[in-house]
Amino acid sequence: MWQLGHRRLLAPAVGLGAASTAAVSSCRAVMLPRFGEPEVLEVRPAVGVPSLKPRDVLVRSRAVSINPLDLRMRSGYGRSIFEPLLPLIIGRDISGEVAAVGTSVSSLTVGQEVFGALHPTAVRGTYADYAILSEDELTLKPPSVTQVVSKIGSDHLYSATLDGFHLPLFCLNRIKTCLWLVNIFH
């Protein structure tokens, strides 16, 4: 079980090591099959990972956040854009390590620690063991910053590490959503 400010490491996510450049064909992901409350989210053990485009970077997730846009999207915001694409992986923010790079990526290499955010209209989000972002959506993580942050400004941050996911859950008034998401990984 998790507690406020407490982190527990369970089994690491299956996939690439830091030095590998081999392709990842599938990974675990939290899928949104339809719009609704948190209970509509599903953890799927083997979701396909698309091939990288030339400027793409495959990031092994170490931390993701639940931000207000994620909550609104789950509830139906952007329905006219996203409903025809369901099921999809939501999530915008990520911190992790570079697992593979596209042929035109020049500023990042496998094994580097990075963080970044997807464009709001991205249809494959970050609630997965591996996420694909473009090179310009990522930046190197400074060595002085941890992958999982315990406090950001005056916001209350709930942290949990579950089945290899390090999830800083930015909840504020969304405790129900956060508790539900934490529980789906048990």
pLDDT at 22: 53
Reply yes or no on whether the pLDDT at 121 is more than 80: yes
Quote the pTM value: 0.70
User: Average pLDDT in the 134-159 region?
Assistant: 61
Per CATH, which fold does 26-184 belong to?
A: Quinone Oxidoreductase; Chain A, domain 1 (3.90.180)
Residue 66: band (very low, low, confident or very high) from pLDDT cuts 50, 70, 90? confident
pLDDT(155) > 70: no
Higher pLDDT, 45 or 170: 45
- Residue 169 in contact with residue 3, Cβ under 8 Å? no
CB atoms within 10 A of CB 180: 14
44 by DSSP, 3-state: which?
A: strand
Residue 171 token pair:
């909840």
Task: Quote the CA–CA distance of 171 and 182 in Å, as a whole number.
Answer: 12
Query: Residues 37-45: contacts with CB within 8 Å, 24+ apart?
Result: 37/75, 38/74, 38/176, 38/177, 38/180, 38/181, 39/180, 40/74, 41/74, 41/180, 41/181, 41/184, 42/87, 43/184, 43/185
Q: What's the CA gap between 123 and 34, in Å, rounded?
A: 14
164-181 pLDDT tens trace: 444 433 333 344 444 444
Closest CA to 138 of 92, 90, 170: 92
